[in-house]
Amino acid sequence: MTTAAQFTSALRNRQRLLGYWSLLDSPVAAERLAQVGYDYLAFDAQHGLFGYQGLLNNLIATDTRGSTAVGMVRVEANDPTYIGRALDAGAAAVIVPLVDTARDAAAAVAAVRYPPHGRRSYGPMRAQLRIGPDPVDTHAQTAVLAMIETADGLADVEEICATPGLDGIYVGPSDLRLAIGGRTSTDPEVAEEFEAALARIRNAAEAAGIAAGIHNADGASAARRLDEGFTFATVAADVVHLQQAAAAHLAAARSTGA
């Protein structure tokens, strides 16, 4: 079983990591996904279908026998309460959305670290079974990632990446494409500007020596982004893939005997 310490060390050393994105509150699915071979499962508390109990249950399920993955959470907002609860439930890393400035990034870092290095309240509850529990060990084993997905975040990306204590950045491609002028989250008319933005983000992370991650619709896209210089990539997402697989099987079944 992969430990939080192993995962965080690999992330900070900019080793290649692959994860899977979950929107569905299904601990049974999380148990199965944790054994597929991904390095992390990311549970989306911002846009996903999780309440706190669901988030807790899925993090517990990720620690199943034979798991290769740690649990990661995209929290609802850059808020110490949401960040602290995800970490107390056992997340090895948090993705913090809508980081526009270095000041926002510093606030996210502070919410992950205990005093005197931050302002996380001490009460790890379930997390202490696998992470920490002493602050110095917890700091070594948990990671904080800032999302770059807004026009302001892109404009300030070099300063954000230079934030002390920040472990990495994570690109939200749908919001980023809208932020640079796309009419939809997949608008091909801004493809050139979008790729230039990704290059700038990758270069900023590399210069700062931190991890650079990105959200992807499929495995082929994730492979491409890793080859371009991103250090970790997520394949998304369970609810979409469930529908796609069901539709493909239905089409195959209807094609016989026509």
| Residue 47 designated active-site | yes
DSSP codes joined into one string, 67-94? ---EEEEE-SSS-HHHHHHHHHTT-SEE
Residue in the structure block whose two tokens are 């084993």: 141
Residue 169: Cβ-neighbour burial (10 angstroms; 0-12, 13-18, 19+) = buried
DSSP 114: P
Could you give phi then psi for residue 175, rounded to 5 degrees?
-65, -40
Kindly provide the b/e burial profile for residues 90-126, where b requires at least 16 CB atoms within 10 angstroms of the residue's own CB: bbbbbbbbbbbbbebbbbbbbbbbbeeebebeeebee
The reply to whether omega before 143 is within 30° of 0 (cis) is: no
Could you give phi then psi for residue 8, rounded to 5 degrees?
-65, -40
Residue in the structure block whose two tokens are 């199965």: 32
Residue 173: Cβ-neighbour burial (10 angstroms; 0-12, 13-18, 19+) = buried
Distance, CA of 212 to chain centre: 11
Active site (catalytic) residues? 47
